[in-house]
Amino acid sequence: MSTHLDELFESNRRWAAETERRSPGFFTRLLAQQAPQYLWIGCADSRVPANEILGLLPGDVFVHRNVANVVVHSDLNALSVIQFAIDMLKVQHIMVVGHYGCGGVLAALRNQRIGLADNWIRHVQDVRHKHRTWLDGIGDEALAHKALCELNVLEQSLNVCETTVMQDAWARGQSVVVHGWVYGLHNGLIDDLKMTVADAADVAAAYGLALGAIKTRYDAIRKNGRP
């Protein structure tokens, strides 16, 4: 096993050279300013890289990632990122992005012990418990896993909306929209869960409509065997 990771340094040099070749002066311009319009709050899974998925370059997306894309009001890391993005960078959109096949969500669904991360995944278990009766009624683990990935996005999007940082931004009239999305590892596409909120007064209605749409869709799958 290599101890120096020379292959990564070589790959980095190729990437930098190719980037500069495609866009001369790119790194000089990037050094001068960070002005992204977007904050991506996603999962730490190595298969879910924000810039690549969106087809955007470095500097276009401010990113926060953790296991299972969780946002809780006691996490000063996530809250600091949200505050910096809103107050300093003036982002216009915050996307909470889960992904199908999420291992953290599956562990929460199965109540599976995996180590220290159990304490973090407990936040996803709370989502599972909130919707336990409906999830248990699905009757198929793979489908329930997919549904819980979506429900987790809704709950974490709701948490973003309810942060003091977000509430204060809306109260002073700052234009920031929260979005709940889920990414498909199987096809590389993002699905919009329609949890889209641009004002504090719209949070409850947006959450209710998005939740209803998820449950209606999965109830149809369970009943008819098709989306």
Helix, coil or strand: residue 90: coil
User: Annotated catalytic residue: which of 47, 73, 122, 217?
Assistant: 47
Catalytic residue list contains 4? no
User: Annotated catalytic residue: which of 93, 102, 161, 179?
Assistant: 102
User: Annotated catalytic residue: which of 64, 99, 131, 145?
Assistant: 99
B/e letters for 75-109, b = 16+ CB within 10 Å, e = fewer, are: beebbebbbebbeeeebebbbbbbbbbbebbbbbb
Strand partners, 40: 63, 95
Catalytic residue list contains 149? no
Catalytic residue list contains 145? no
d(CA 220, CA 217): 5
Catalytic residue list contains 202? no
DSSP letter string over 43-55?
A: E--TT--HHHHHT
**Edge-first strand listing for the sheet containing 190-197:** 61-66, 38-43, 93-99, 177-183, 190-197
Give the catalytic positions in this structure. 43, 45, 47, 99, 102
